[in-house]
Amino acid sequence: MSQPELGDHAPTFTATVGTSDHESFDLEDHLGDGPVVLAFFPGAFTPPCSNEMIALQGELARFADANATLLGVSADSPFCQGAFREEHGIEFDLVSDMGGEAIDAYGVGIDIPDLGLHGIANRSVFVIDDEGAVAYRWVAEDPTNEPDYEELLEAVEAA
């Protein structure tokens, strides 16, 4: 599936939150209460993904000031995500997309055959505004690249 363009209605999806409770997640429940940030990442406990999630955690106050909901999304299991959150002190929710619904809906699925990884998320960030439209989109050309955090925060504050 192709990636949504700026201004497109953001695809919604259901998944599981990677916490000890493994509660269900529905993106629709988060729309209309300020910007929603979907930070797709390839896999927990890898150096670039750890760096990115820690960097986002470090900016949590700015996301909160913008009334934004920050969510990390990966194909990792909820158990793996819960351990990852605990190890790195991540306070925002991680969404387990093991079935690939969100990854497919946003067109960010990749394979890294050398590592035996298939159907994982490419590193990418989407900001969804109050009307449910894509207000910002960044997709890595190389999944080891991280987004420009200042540019992301400015897009969140403008959404």
Selecting among 27, 36, 39, 49, the annotated active-site residue is 49
5 within some domain: no
In b/e form, how buried is each residue of 25-59, taking b as 16+ CB within 10 angstroms?
Answer: bebeebbeebbbbbbbbbbbebebbbebbeebbeb
23 within some domain: no
- Residue 76 contacts residue 117 (beta carbons within 8 Å): no
Q: What is the pLDDT of residues 80-96, one digit of tens each?
A: 999 999 999 999 999 99
pLDDT band at 20 (very low <50, low <70, confident <90, very high): low
Report the mean per-residue pLDDT for the chain: 92
Task: Count up the domains in the chain and report the number.
Answer: 1
Q: Would the pTM count as exceeding 0.85?
A: yes
Q: Is 49 a catalytic residue?
A: yes
- Indicate if the alpha-carbon torsion angle 99, 25, 18, 136 is positive or negative: positive
Q: What is the pLDDT of residues 61-79, one digit of tens each?
A: 999 999 999 999 999 999 9
6 within some domain: no
- Residue 40 contacts residue 49 (beta carbons within 8 Å): no
The domain that contains 36 carries what CATH number?
3.40.30.10
Residue 79: give the domain boundaries: 14-18+30-158
Q: What is the pLDDT of residues 97-132, one digit of tens each?
A: 999 999 999 999 998 888 788 889 999 999 999 999
